[in-house]
Amino acid sequence: MRQYNILMRVFAPSVRLLVILALLPALAAPAWAWNFPAHWIAAAIAYQRLTPAVRAKVDGFLRQHPDYEKMNFVDAPTDPESRARAAFIHAASWPDEIRDDARLYDDTKADAVPTPLLPGFPGMQRHTNWHYINMPFSQDDSRLTPTPTPNVGTELRRLLDEISPTADPATVAYDLPWFIHLVADSHNPIHAGSRVTKDLPMGDANGSLVFVPGKSLHGYWDDAASPKEINYAGILKYAKDYMAQQPPPVSSTLNPKTWLDESFKLAKSDVYTFGPDNGTKEKPITLPPGYAQNAQKIAKQRLIKSGYLLGTALNLRLR
Ligand SMILES: [Zn+2]
């Protein structure tokens, strides 16, 4: 409720309902990705790096997205340039927002009932398995499980190929929020590694089955790079500060496999450093001294890097 109360103070009455509706998924759902502010900050970094020509193309494609009107912030200025920037930034959280959207259905459920196809949508699936990759590893010699597909690696590869200035505009419009979102997800170490133990022989679902005080290990890493609440002005400020703190990568490889391999390596070296236990909600594991500082440092570095790479990727693909 604390979050609601803050929102009520920040926003005018006329937009309160809108704000509540927009944020309900973020407040009610379990962890599933970088939190919304992290996704928005990474997108703001990327947008800042786009050339004017690519910005114009991206803006044009996004305006054709069926949910373009929802891609905005209540405190964003309304001039055309700001409107376009706000849409790009808000598009970053769209793939998480549709998880609770009744117009779409969860295609990963065995009993899923497809919902009617709406104009502008190539399909009504939520694609909840596109956000991560289960790259298994073990610290107790457990037998490793195979990596399921589709996953964030297969989808990033496809999206990189599909996004081009000459592609069908409706396809690119639909691809862009996914691409913006998944480039960031692929840089989160917890979205790559899945630890297999004797207790969890099928793996820990990217840390979702490991519990630290108050949340899952997955949720812990999703929240490690940014505040949990932010407005549009705050996003731009964070993006500016983060860019000042970390320069663009010297060489950028536009190979999603490389991004995921880096994340996987970090999962093994810096995420699972607390011993063999998985903990429970009631009896969470205790994180070692210095863990929080290190997690925040790494998560922030990865998030900023993902923003830079997203900008580079779009500049190359849409030039
Ligand atoms: Zn995600």
Which residues are near ligand 1, the ion (C-beta closer than 5 Å)?
33, 131, 185
What CA–CA distance (Å, rounded) separates 187 from 257? 11
Calpha distance 309→170 (Å, rounded)? 24
- pLDDT value of residue 253: 81
At position 108, the amino acid (one-letter code) is T
Q: How long a stretch of residues is the chain?
A: 319
Name residues whose C-beta falls within 8 Å of residue 21's C-beta, 6 or more positions apart in sequence: none
Give the CATH class of 31-317. Answer: mainly alpha
Give pLDDT, residue 23: 43
For residue 26, report the distance from its CA to the centre of ligand 1, in Å: 12
- What was the pLDDT predicted at 193? 92
Provide the pLDDT for residue 177: 98
Three-state secondary-structure class, residue 215: strand
Instruction: At 215, give phi and psi (nearest 5°).
Output: -165, 175
DSSP-derived 3-state class of residue 196: strand
Q: How far is the CA of 96 from the centre of ligand 1 (A)?
A: 6
How far is the C-alpha of 268 from the C-alpha of 298, rounded, in Å? 13
Neighbours of 256 (CB within 10 A): 23
Judged by DSSP in three states, 136 sits in strand
Distance of CA 97 to the CA centre of its chain: 11
Say if residue 192 is exposed, middle or buried (CB neighbours under 10 Å; 0-12, 13-18, 19+): buried
Gap between the Cα atoms of 18 and 106, Å rounded: 24
- The pLDDT, as a whole number, for residue 22 is 44
Q: How far, in Å, from the CA of 131 to the mean position of ligand 1?
A: 4
Q: Give residue 13's pLDDT.
A: 40
What distance separates the 2 farthest-apart alpha carbons in the chain?
58
For residues 200 and 174, give the distance between their C-alpha atoms in angstroms, rounded to a whole number.
36
Q: Which two tokens stand for residue 305?
A: 């890097």
Q: What is the pLDDT of residues 17-52, one digit of tens each?
A: 444 444 443 333 344 678 999 999 999 999 999 999
| β-strand partners of 125 | 105
User: What residues in the chain have per-residue pLDDT under 70?
Assistant: 1-32
User: 99 C-alpha vs ligand 1 centroid, how far in Å?
Assistant: 10
Distance 160 CA to ligand 1 centre (A): 17
Taking all residues of the chain, what is their mean pLDDT, rounded to a whole number? Answer: 91
Report CA(289)–ligand 1 centroid distance (Å).
29
CB 47 within 8 A of CB 155: no
pLDDT for residue 176? 98
Q: What is the CA radius of gyration of the chain?
A: 19
Q: What's the pLDDT score for residue 32?
A: 62
